[in-house]
Amino acid sequence: MNRLAAERSPYLLQHAENPVDWYPWGAEAFEKARRENKPIFLSVGYSTCHWCHVMEHESFENAAVAAALNADFVSIKVDREERPDVDRVYMTFVQSTSGSGGWPMTVFLTPELKPFFGGTYFPPTSRWGRPGFLDLLQELSRAWKDDRARVDSAAAELFDRLKTVTGSDGRSKAQCWLAGPDTLAEAVEQFQTAFDRRNGGFGEAPKFPRPAELLLLLREHSRTRTAPPLVMALDTLRAMALGGMRDHVGGGFHRYSVDAQWRVPHFEKMLYDQAQLALAYLEAGQATNDGFYSAIAEDTLGYVLRDLRSPEGGFYSAEDADSLPSDGSGEKREGAFYVWTDEEIGTLLGDDAEFVRKRFGIEPGGNAPQDPQQEFTNQNLFYTARSIEDIAARTGRTPDEVIDAIGRSRQVLFEARAKRHRPHLDDKIITSWNGMMIAAFARAARVLPTCPDTQEYLATARSAAEFIKGGLWNGAEQRLLRRYRDGEAAIDAYAEDYASLIWGLIELFQADGDPAWLEWARDLQARQDALFWDEAEAGWFSTTGKDPSVLLRLKEDYDGAEPSASAISVLNLIALAHLLDDEDARRKAERTLARYGPNAGRAGRVIPLMLAGLSTWHAAASQVVVLGERDGQDTTALKAEISRHYLPFAVVIPVDPGEQQARLATLMPFIGAMRMQDGGAAAFVCRNFACKAPVSTPETLGSQLEEP
């Protein structure tokens, strides 16, 4: 066992038995590199990363590779999910020098932590146009020993370039011009240019789910009442739900599709994908009143409740792509838990098998693409090949009979699959991802009032928030931590942790009206601003800048698989401004939006959630207050009416008369004077804290909500 055996990260523990003399990121490794005058080999990944597993098996378990590393390098292993600050610096270097990035990330550093060579996966020997890892080690070791001055010069030059690329060289790149609505139209045009009209999604393969893009398009449809943004969002959401990227047996979504048709997934499942996609499907369901989208959201939340919820109330991070084949033989294979042979389908389902074959494209020889490793020989991936109506016509059955058969079959397949070897579960709890998941469950509780699981959704969101408050937040020190695992909370939170948790708390407050959530969100925002706000150029740095081992203090702009902290924070601050009448929140949101200037629309595919904030800024934002007994029939009816409307620019404030109203009035004085109507619940539709006449029936409330 090497030093990683003392760590808590599942990814680091996966490497604890490697013959490589691994160090965790820290002073001990840095001091060894300086003392012995050796370069640092930095390997960054995460526990459910398929190619990380491949490189470990091929290279880090290889005695010859380990001997070369141990002799000439100081080897450091980093879990990117625990230390996004370290990952972000060196990923920026790899992307800027090689033109691409990914994990595992392979970077070589001087003892001063400056990078001089980097890449991603390297095979053990040269193949596929990639140099062999052992050859690479030998060449870099030779250069370090024989041409050290050149290596140091290259590292210094590359680091200077990196500071320029990231804006860390002191030269301002920020604008001071808040873009108008025309910028948003330009962004929509960017999406239309990249939109795949045949298959949904944007661009070519591989296709990744980026819910931030869809949330922007849905808001632009709501703001402008134009069709193209809605069509692009709905076609993409439908394609993802019907394709192989969705787990049609157990619910939830895989990481991405390797093909343009959304047919063939990369099988890992990430918590942040489930949270953001659930939110996107919930919003699509509201925007269309189409139960298809809401059902996909419910199915996704059901998967999280069943497989990713910890006993303490938080949510685990991910499930791996790889697992042992169903018979337990051989080595782990990608997707082994999820694929089926035609013979298995027939044996398990009997008379219902034909419905499943037609519905999900099952073929005798398998529908999965053959690959060099022969992992998918005769295997079938589930994707929606035919509609229920088409199957009914082909089989002479009614649509209801087909639906019943598929429902029965899904349960049988789920139970059979549960007996297989499950993929590895990364059971660490990340604050930022939990914040997103709290937001998703709270939103579902609010906008799906007739769903039988509504109360469970709300209880789940509350429980997760309470867990984070009790286990990862020190109120006395105003200190938030990022990671919890196996009884230990550690690592000071980053801006993304604060921002995502605040997001979740704002959604939770709108679901249950408890002032405690709003008060905590306000306090967290104040702490986030104190630690990360850039008063000179606006926006929030990812880190505090106090860790000397993180060479660059970066400000993330890209809304990728996870949206940037600044983009989430803009939406948070707009909501807090409308809840608390907070002028400083408005100022910070406006200044951050103005950083991108009038040409922000050209970066629509880079900063979609930030542009969703710009859309919200230009929209007619409102406050909708429901004053009434929490479980009263009239209160429930008014809340149900609100849920029927897609209101992405409104904050909803449920208020119980009495003690809760008095407490809320200290935060929002305009609520203090509100009164119920004839002893019954009343709704108030307000803009900028000026309210229309209260209404007490769903019909009159609906009319007010639909007014321009």
Whether the model clears a pTM of 0.85, i.e. scores above it, the answer is yes
Instruction: Return the closest-CA partner of residue 560 out of 212, 98, 224.
Output: 212
* Rounded Cα–Cα distance for residues 637 and 376 (Å): 51
For residue 208, what pLDDT is reported? Answer: 95
- Integer CA distances (angstroms), 587 to 518, 538, 591, in order: 20, 10, 6
For residue 597, what pLDDT is reported? Answer: 94
Contact 160, 551 (CB under 8 A): no
| Band (374; pLDDT cuts 50, 70, 90) | low
Q: Which CATH class is domain 204-321+426-618?
A: mainly alpha
Q: Nearest 5°: phi and psi at 298?
A: -60, -40
Pick the more confident residue, 128 or 470: 470
CATH of the structural domain 622-706, one choice from 3.30.67.10, 3.40.30.10, 3.90.1170.50, 3.40.228.10: 3.40.30.10
**Quick one: average pLDDT of 532-561?**
96
pLDDT digits (tens, 9 = 90+) for 597-643: 999 999 999 999 999 999 999 998 899 999 999 889 999 999 999 99
Sign of CA dihedral 553, 557, 558, 561: positive
Q: Percentage of the chain surpassing pLDDT 70?
A: 99
State the chain's mean pLDDT as an integer. 95
Q: Percentage of the chain surpassing pLDDT 90?
A: 92
DSSP class per residue in 319-331: E-SEE--TT--SS
* Rounded Cα–Cα distance for residues 401 and 384 (Å): 17
- Produce one character per residue of 88-106: b if its CB has 16 or more CB atoms within 10 Å, e if not: bbbbbbbebbeeebebbbb
pLDDT digits (tens, 9 = 90+) for 201-226: 999 999 999 999 999 999 999 999 99
pLDDT digits (tens, 9 = 90+) for 670-698: 999 999 998 999 999 998 889 999 999 99
Sequence ranges of the domains in the chain: 3-166, 204-321+426-618, 338-419, 622-706
Q: Does residue 37 surpass a pLDDT of 70?
A: yes
Instruction: Return the closest-CA partner of residue 423 out of 305, 299, 262, 270.
Output: 270
For residue 173, what pLDDT is reported? Answer: 75
DSSP assigned state of 303: H
For residue 372, what pLDDT is reported? Answer: 55
Instruction: Return the closest-CA partner of residue 184 out of 652, 596, 627.
Output: 596
pLDDT digits (tens, 9 = 90+) for 171-211: 777 888 999 999 999 999 999 999 999 999 999 999 999 99
Q: Does residue 375 surpass a pLDDT of 70?
A: no
**Quick one: average pLDDT of 144-159?**
96
Q: Does residue 327 surpass a pLDDT of 80?
A: no
On the question of a common fold for 204-321+426-618 and 622-706, the answer reads: no
* Rounded Cα–Cα distance for residues 43 and 650 (Å): 45
| Band (459; pLDDT cuts 50, 70, 90) | very high
| Band (168; pLDDT cuts 50, 70, 90) | confident
pLDDT digits (tens, 9 = 90+) for 402-415: 999 999 999 999 99
Q: Which CATH class is domain 3-166?
A: alpha beta
| Band (167; pLDDT cuts 50, 70, 90) | confident
* Residues 6 or more apart in contact with residue 618 via CB below 8 angstroms: 180, 181, 184, 223
